[in-house]
Amino acid sequence: MTVEILTPKRRFRDRPRGRDLPPIALAKLRQLLGDERKDPDLRRRDLLLEHLHVIQDAHGFLSLVNLRALATYMNLPMAAVYETATFYAHFDVIHDDQSPPPATTIRVCDSLSCQLAGAGALKAELESGMDPGQVRVLRAPCMGRCDSAPVVEVGHHHVLFANREGIEAVVDTGHFHPEAILWQRLEAYRNAGGYRLLADCRTGRVTVEALMQVLEAANLRGLGGAGFPTFKKWTFVRQEPGPRYCAINADEGEPGTFKDRYYLERSPHRFLEGSLISAWAVEAEALYIYLRDEYPGLHRVLREAIDELEAEGLVAADFIVLRRGAGAYICGEESAMIESLEGKPGKPRNRPPFVAQRGLFDRPTLVNNVETVYWIPEIWEKGAAWFAGQGRHGRKGLRSFSVSGRVKRPGVHLAPAGITLAELIDEYCGGMAEGHRLAGYLPGGASGGILPASKADIPLDFDTLQAHGGFIGSAAVIVLSDQDDLQAVATNLLAFFADESCGQCTPCRVGTEKMLTLLERDEWHVEELKRLSQVMMDASICGLGQAAPNPVLGLLKDFRGELAEQNVIIKG
């Protein structure tokens, strides 16, 4: 007897898994972004963040329907689009069961400088006085306006030295004072000798070797925080086989830092010349500029400046690629910035390989800071001896100090490298604010540690503060006084790190949250805090987790008496 085995008929799906996409959603997306069927370049993965920005600018938020349409448009998995959109603080992803956000969003900066200026009380006042159905009030990390604290963003407009009455007037009238940025245009810059060095480089009158020798003699180092010699970085990238890229990191998110904004607002062409010279030095295929989204006015300035260069034939069309960040402090780390430029969540890469070997699009990439390249034309014009001879106390060069906190004249102060905090406050900042006495300071922003007033005579420069538990980083100096709550300072800084951790590695993701919990207690257990700090410093992938404990360790080392006076019980 024969038994017939029936094989069930295999069924195939006639469409991908997931919810159906309304055809009208894709049609509307094409109207907004362009037709990817006619221009396949619109599907490039590195354009994902740019497309998300366009959608959010148009609608005020990102709906799941639009994200599904974008996934289809770019031929990407929905998971990849969703992960990227939800990684960045400035993208508002609204689920199907949620209502769109109110028409007006107020973001109150809660960085340390703004906290010292009363941002917490201001946020509470706004929350109690606004109709939540019409206006939402959110906290926001540093907006790069620490010299004008407290700072509030209404829509995508900054309100400086904000108060409740001023914010309410802006919301009620919809009237903003436009951001007045009086920048030096191309004609004026060229009349002053601008782009002469770039022309000499391109025609061979100045060689790469000669320029690198001048930068070495001037001791120009990376001014974004790491302090790596500029000429060495160029050398490493040039040793790698092409094609190569150049990327400028203009995502200064360190609380207390605003020097790059200061220079970009005044002379974008000087910055662009230095950037183009750097790209020339490594024979880059393209120059990418990654500018933080918190600087909307500067996006317009740089776009217009680049258009001027292209119109005059000083740079080929599309050689300079201007990209928008989306609110992620971690993208100040160079490999995280590279990931973001590629349209991905900004998570740091494991090293090696370094970005000089395998960076943007897996090719050797030169990454420089805004201020670093800004100095290149002037150092060549005035000579290495001019720049190197500016220092004090045995140090060389100039430093742009972003000073905020309890001083009379906060702002960017260009001063000799090696100047002490006491000299900086007295000579450049007009002294301490009225009624305040120096208690301590952060020499390098949130990650640079906290030093006491007794160490205000230490030279502020690279390689000098490490022995004291701090470092200069991007030279973001936040000055504290005898009236400041040190526990509130510590919890503010650790809350920032916990919020900005990319979550990729456990020591940072869990460690920052755990340390914040420990600091919020009335009793601080020294050994527990030190053990946790050591784990974070030893095992975190990047500088965020490694540097997050610095302010806490500084307080435990030099401020125990002050903490006790403020009713914090120190055990151990």
Whether the pLDDT of residue 290 is over 60: the answer is yes
Calculate mean pLDDT across residues 420-434.
Answer: 98
Whether the pLDDT of residue 429 is over 90: the answer is yes
Query: H or E segment at 446?
Result: strand 438-446
Distance between CA atoms of residues 375 and 271, nearest Å: 8
Distance between CA atoms of residues 38 and 320, nearest Å: 24
Q: Which of 10-14, 221-225, 410-414 has the highest mean pLDDT?
A: 410-414
Whether the pLDDT of residue 1 is over 60: the answer is no
pLDDT per residue over 299-335, tens digit each? 999 999 999 999 999 999 999 999 999 999 999 999 9
CA angle in degrees (0–180, nearest 5) for 281-285-288? 90
501-518: string of b/e by CB count within 10 Å (b at 16+)? bbebbebbbbbbbbbbeb
Distance between CA atoms of residues 108 and 276, nearest Å: 36
The alpha-helical segments, DSSP class H, found in 254-317 are 259-266, 268-281, 296-311
Confidence of residue 545 (pLDDT cuts 50, 70, 90): very high
Distance between CA atoms of residues 560 and 118, nearest Å: 25
Calculate mean pLDDT across residues 147-163.
Answer: 92
Calculate mean pLDDT across residues 329-348.
Answer: 96
Give the model's pLDDT for residue 14: 58
Residue 59 φ then ψ, to 5°: -110, -20
1-40: string of b/e by CB count within 10 Å (b at 16+)? eeeeeeeeeeeeeeeeeeeebeeebbebbbebbeebeeee
Confidence of residue 225 (pLDDT cuts 50, 70, 90): confident
Residues facing 284 on adjacent strands = 244
Distance between CA atoms of residues 547 and 540, nearest Å: 9
Distance between CA atoms of residues 501 and 511, nearest Å: 10
In the numeric block, the tokens 């007295």 are attached to 426
Distance between CA atoms of residues 440 and 444, nearest Å: 13
Confidence of residue 180 (pLDDT cuts 50, 70, 90): low
Confidence of residue 241 (pLDDT cuts 50, 70, 90): very high
Distance between CA atoms of residues 60 and 133, nearest Å: 15
Query: H or E segment at 237?
Result: helix 230-238
Decide the pairing of beta strands 244-250 and 365-369.
parallel
Whether the pLDDT of residue 469 is over 90: the answer is no
And the tokens for 70?
A: 């974008």
Q: Which domains does the chain have, with CATH numbers?
A: 41-101 (1.10.10.1590), 105-173 (3.40.30.10), 186-380 (3.40.50.11540), 398-481 (3.10.20.600), 486-571 (1.20.1440.230)
Do 280 and 197 touch, CB atoms closer than 8 A?
no
Do 334 and 355 touch, CB atoms closer than 8 A?
yes
Distance between CA atoms of residues 393 and 390, nearest Å: 10
Distance between CA atoms of residues 435 and 418, nearest Å: 28
- Mean of the per-residue pLDDT values for the chain? 94
Confidence of residue 13 (pLDDT cuts 50, 70, 90): low
Give the model's pLDDT for residue 16: 54
Confidence of residue 173 (pLDDT cuts 50, 70, 90): confident
Secondary structure, 3-state, 7-60: CCCCCCCCCCCCCCCCHHHHHHHHHHHCCCCCCHHHHCHHHHHHHHHHHHHHHC
Whether the pLDDT of residue 177 is over 80: the answer is no
In the numeric block, the tokens 């402090």 are attached to 329
Tell me how far the alpha carbon of residue 388 is from its chain's centroid. Answer: 28
